[in-house]
Amino acid sequence: MSRNSFLAVFNQRAALLIFLIGKLLRFFFFFAFIILLLKGTKSLAGYNLNQTLLFFLTFNLIDTLSQFLFREVYRFRPLVVSGGFDLVLSKPVNALFRSLMGGADVIDLITIIPLSIATFYIAYLLNPSALQSIYYLALLINGLVIASAFHIFVLGMGIVTLEIDHTIMIYRDLTALGRFPIDIYKEPLRGIITFLIPIGIMLAFPAKAIMGLITPAGVIWSIVFGGLLLSLSFKFWKFALKKYTSASS
Amino acid sequence: MKKYFQIFKISFQQEFSYRLNFIMWRVRNVLQIILTFFLWSSVFKNPQTEVFGYNQGKILTYVFGILLLRAIVFSARAVDVAGEISNGNITNFLLKPVSYFKYWATRDIASKVLNLVFSVFEITILFLILKPNLFLQTNLITLFAVLISLIFAIVLFFCLLFITNISAFWMPENGWAAQFLFIGIITDFLSGGVFPLDVLPFTLQRALYSTPFPYLLFFPLQVYLGKITGLEIVRGLVTSGAWVFILFVILKFIWARGLRRYSAEGR
Amino acid sequence: MDRAIVVDRLVKNFEVTQKEKGLRGSIKSVFSPKKQTVHALRGISFAIQPGELVGFIGPNGAGKTTTLKILSGLLYPTSGFVQVLEHDPWEKKSEFLKQISLVMGQKNQLWWDLPAIETFELNKEIYEIPRRDYEKNLEELVTLLGVGKLLKTQVRRLSLGQRMRMELVAALLHKPKALFLDEPTIGLDLIGQQKVRDFIYEYNRKNNATVILTSHNMDDLTNLARRVIVIDDGRILFDGALEELTGRFAKEKIIKISLSKEVDVKAIGQIGEVKHVLFPEVILSVPRSVVAVAAAEILQNFPVDDLTIEEVPIEEIIKKVFKGELTK
């Protein structure tokens, strides 16, 4: 399925290339900013340069990975509007899988690989224990689980309301708050984005875990939370699907 | 003149019909400010902190100032030009007795007015919630200099945006990608829209000052905050003005070439 | 002004970059673009008097739209002379633009999310139409096109036919002296087409406006244009009254027979090309030069009740023109 999306016209590729350069530049700008900022202030919300960088890199890793996996979600609205979604429903491939992950683009791997290397290197520089490293990986995957839950929810919204573009934009702007350690936010905002709109659990907890700031119980609870969120999103998807198929076109 | 007032009016009405899009745009702006605000609040938690030449009051004023200035300088409808060129609708305009530049400049102003109103409202709300101590400039001459620099900023951005959009004459399918890269990312960062350019090493800042970008947001704000004074202000305004002239000439030139190409390909 | 539009030996060439298929071809086209010259117009000449209604017909790619674009100033000629309403269109002087209007099917000028009346008000200012004239013109156009009730509806909620009529209002508010229409009835249903046609006819008659329209729709041409210009491959094949078109191009005539008894159709097929057989009717086409002889032969050898000789229907001729099957 992803091979089909690989066969693209050059122009589409040129656009993708420009997007890639844009994203790389943005990453580089923020990266440089963090270094320069911490050169001047020595600590941000109690974290030093490497720690702040880890938060930043983890954010980028999860964000890039979920964009890579769920690129198809960005094409969902035209699919529903044009009626193409009905076609998807009629095919033997699971409609959710197709709408969620049908559009993975190999070009994203160009960024993911060096990004992963950089992230793990910085993490290594923090001298974590083996257990902490395991927590990091577990919560990283958990972060992706939460991201999937978000995207499935967005898809469900798309079917029910057709208002998908705005929902995606809100999601992206909210997750952007996780670029920096969420400790910078004051309560009650911090509480809201940690638990209610679980950006904190998704983006900040992996790095916190590797720094030993999360208890083992906390890790387990986060994973349970992620699983719960995912099953909730599945339920919502089923509900949305039922609504869609019972309404006449 | 009545022409342009009518264009202003209809453009204003058009923005209202895209209510949801507009609200989303404002929400995004506010979310960005929230991130930056808390970031700097955290750095300047101790009100005595002085770093990068800022104290707490000035840096938070910078953050709020960005919200306001983005509405004034960056709000534009000319982002649609690339699309009009791609789908050929520009043909209709070429046949009307009205200047394409002036038409879009008027539409941009309509957008800026609307965004300005909303940003003032947002700033007020944020101010009441977050209660930062802001820095208020009172020197009239300084304020006047800020005004001049803003006018230059508006024209500069118009030229940059328009030139980027006209690239659609040569690559009709990708005009919007160029816009994302050049305006959305490069211009946004290099104008001080994401973080103040003071954090950069001095040599880099100096180099940036010979480009048009800092004059869009950073320079006006620095003048307001009193971090640039006296002769520096004059030098900045002169450079800014020079860029206005240069970009305008480039714009006219590329426009003529683009139009010729559009006619040659007979779209 | 004795001639509204003058075109003399107009040549228009396009440089088109050739792009090969696939990724490699696209990369090649960036570094070493292969250019090919398309000869859209190969030296055409014609003149149109004020108030004439002329139809341009020809197959796809013949040069119809290119001609209209040159006449309105969008494209510049490669060589030759063009004058519209005593102006050089390419200069696009304000006073020239205020006197012309180009309406193209897919390129809308109406603002999508607002009621059409807003675009009209905008055009009023852009064309600097005095309020009195504006209201009079608006009233006239709206009545003629029957869109009075739709003025305050958002354009995106209108049907294609309604939108097309609104576009016509927007295009004519400034009472242009020259009106260029590119495929005005495309995509409309039969009633919609008729409405547009009637409107163009009325507008031309009332305002003595010079109208050129291009179309693929034969009904547009047979019911509207009194003079047609046939273009194919950038050359004018015919310029004159519609009726003359038949005489010039139809190399055949039609013989309609009504038989009294069943006969072997193959035998009739020896005399001419059988176009249609449904007892008792047989329709043949026969070369012009021998039609009298053929008719006589049929009357002699077959049990004929009735026989008529007719011209090939204009629709047939025009169909052939579109397919590029007609040469001088």
pLDDT tens digits, one per residue of B97-124? 999 999 999 999 999 999 999 999 999 9
Question: CB–CB of C119 and B10 under 8 A?
Answer: yes
Over range C136-159, report the average pLDDT: 89
Using the predicted structure, report yes or no on whether residue B43 has a pLDDT greater than 70.
yes
Nearest Cα residue to A53 out of A190, A207, A199: A207
| Least confident among A140-144, B22-26, C18-22, C154-158 | C18-22
Distance from CA of C75 to the nearest CA of A (A): 27
- pLDDT tens across A147-165, in order? 999 998 888 888 887 777 7
At C28, the pLDDT band (50, 70, 90 cuts) reads: low
Lowest mean pLDDT among C12-26, C57-71, C292-306: C12-26
Cα→Cα distances A52→A132, A245, B142, B170, Å: 17, 47, 38, 43
Q: Are residues C221 and C282 in the same domain?
A: no
SS3 C41: strand
Task: Measure the CA–CA gap between C248 and C220, rounded to whole angstroms.
Answer: 21
Residue C208 lies in a domain: yes
Provide, as residue numbers in chain A, all residues whose Cβ is less than 8 Å from the Cβ of B174.
Answer: 11, 14-15, 18
Do C257 and C228 belong to one domain? no
Q: What is the pLDDT of residue B86?
A: 86
**How large is the greatest C-alpha to C-alpha distance in chain B, in angstroms?**
65
C40 touching chain B per CB within 8 A: yes
| Same domain as C225, residue C92 | yes
> Which range, B4-8, B20-24, C272-276, has the best average confidence (pLDDT)?
B4-8
pLDDT band at C18 (very low <50, low <70, confident <90, very high): low
CA–CA distances in Å: residue C264 to residues C4, C274, C282, C284, C295:
58, 12, 11, 14, 17
Which value, to the nearest 10 degrees, does the dihedral of the CA atoms of residues A191, A197, A200, A201 take? 110
Encode pLDDT of A76-109 as tens digits.
877 777 777 787 777 777 778 777 777 777 777 8
Q: Count the neighbouring beta carbons within 10 Å of the beta carbon of residue B218.
A: 27
C183: its two tokens: 């495929």
Mean pLDDT along residues C86-91: 92
Average pLDDT over residues C124-143: 92
Kindly write down the DSSP assignment for every residue of C139-164, as one continuous string: HHHHHHHT-GGGTTSBGGGS-HHHHH
Q: In this model, does residue B236 exceed pLDDT 60?
A: yes
Query: Chain B contact for A185, CB < 8 A?
Result: yes
Report the C-alpha gap between B205 and B183 in whole angstroms. 20
Choosing from C246, C267, C295, the residue where a domain stops is: C246
Are residues C306 and C171 located together in one domain of the fold?
no
Are residues C77 and C213 part of one domain? yes
Whether C73 sits inside 8 A of B265 (CB atoms) is: no
A23: confidence class by pLDDT, cuts 50, 70, 90: confident
B-chain CB neighbours of C14 within 8 Å are: 264-266
Mean pLDDT calculated for residue range A22-31? 91
Q: Which long-range contacts (CB under 8 A, 24 or more apart) does B231-235 make?
A: B233/B142, B233/B145
Every domain of chain A and the residues it spans: 2-246
Interchain contact B171–C (C-beta under 8 A): no
pLDDT reported for residue A154: 87
The tokens of A127 are what? 């001298």
Which residues of A, range 218-237, sit inside 8 Å of B by Cβ? none
Residue type, C162: Q
Residues C282 and C234 in one domain: no
| Residue A45 with chain B: CB contacts under 8 Å | 42
Chain C residues whose CB is inside 8 A of the B257 CB are: none
Dihedral-angle region of residue A162 (phi above 0 means left; psi in -120 to 50 means alpha; beta otherwise): left
User: Best interface-test mutation with C: which of A6, A7, A10 has the largest number of C CBs within 10 A?
Assistant: A10
B204 shares contact with chain A (CB less than 8 Å)? no
The answer to which of B105-109, C18-22, C254-258 has the lowest mean pLDDT is C18-22
Do C268 and C165 have their domain in common? no
* Residue A7 confidence (pLDDT) above 50: no
Query: Which of C66, C109, C126 faces B97 most closely, judged by CB atoms?
Result: C126
The residue among B264 and B108 whose pLDDT is bigger is B108
pLDDT above 70 covers a percentage of chain A that reads 92
pLDDT of A5 higher than 60:
no
Q: Is the CB of A22 less than 8 angstroms away from the CB of B181?
A: yes
Q: From the candidates B16, B95, B259, which should be mutated to test the interface with C, based on the most C CB atoms within 10 A?
A: B95
Same domain for C166 and C97, yes or no, is yes
Instruction: For residue C12, list its beta bridge partners.
Output: C41
Per the CB < 8 Å rule, is B10 touching C121? yes
Mean pLDDT for C121-142 is 92
Q: How far apart are CA A60 and CA A27, in angstroms?
A: 8
pLDDT score at C211: 94
Is the pLDDT at A8 greater than 50, yes or no? no
Give the domain extent around C201.
50-246
Choice among C59-63, C91-95, C311-315 with the minimum mean pLDDT: C311-315
Are the beta carbons of B3 and C126 separated by less than 8 Å? yes
Contacts of B257 (CB under 8 A, 6+ apart): B169
In this predicted structure, what is the pLDDT of residue A248?
52
Q: Are residues C199 and C283 in the same domain?
A: no
Higher model confidence: residue C30 or residue C138?
C138
Q: How confident is the model at residue A169 (pLDDT cuts 50, 70, 90)?
A: confident
Which residues is B51 bridged to in the sheet?
Answer: B54
Percent of chain A with pLDDT over 90: 24
Give the three-class secondary structure for B50: coil
Task: Report chain B's mean pLDDT, rounded to a whole number.
Answer: 90
Q: Which chains touch C (3 or more CB pairs under 8 A)?
A: A, B
The residue extents of the domains of chain B are: 2-265
Task: Reply yes or no on whether the pLDDT at C146 is more than 90.
Answer: no
On average, the pLDDT of chain A sits at: 83
Q: What is the CA radius of gyration of chain B?
A: 20
The pLDDT value given to residue A4: 37
Share of chain B above pLDDT 70, in %: 99
Distant-in-sequence, close-in-space partners of B21: CB < 8 Å, separation ≥ 6: A166
Query: Quick check: B177 and A36 CB within 8 A?
Result: no
Residue C37 resides in a domain:
no
Q: How distant is the alpha carbon of residue B37 from its chain centre? A: 20
Output the domain CATH number for residue C258: 3.30.70.1150
Classify residue C268: in a domain, yes or no.
yes
Q: What is the pLDDT of residue C7?
A: 93
pLDDT score of B132: 84
The answer, for B19 touching chain A at a CB cutoff of 8 Å, is no
Q: Which residues of B touch A174 (CB under 8 A)?
A: 31
In angstroms, the CA C271 to CA A130 distance is 100
ipTM, two decimals: 0.88
CA distance C133 to C127: 12
pLDDT in tens, A35-52: 999 988 888 888 889 999
Using 50, 70 and 90 to split pLDDT, how confident is the model at B158?
Answer: very high
Residue C328 scores a pLDDT above 60: no
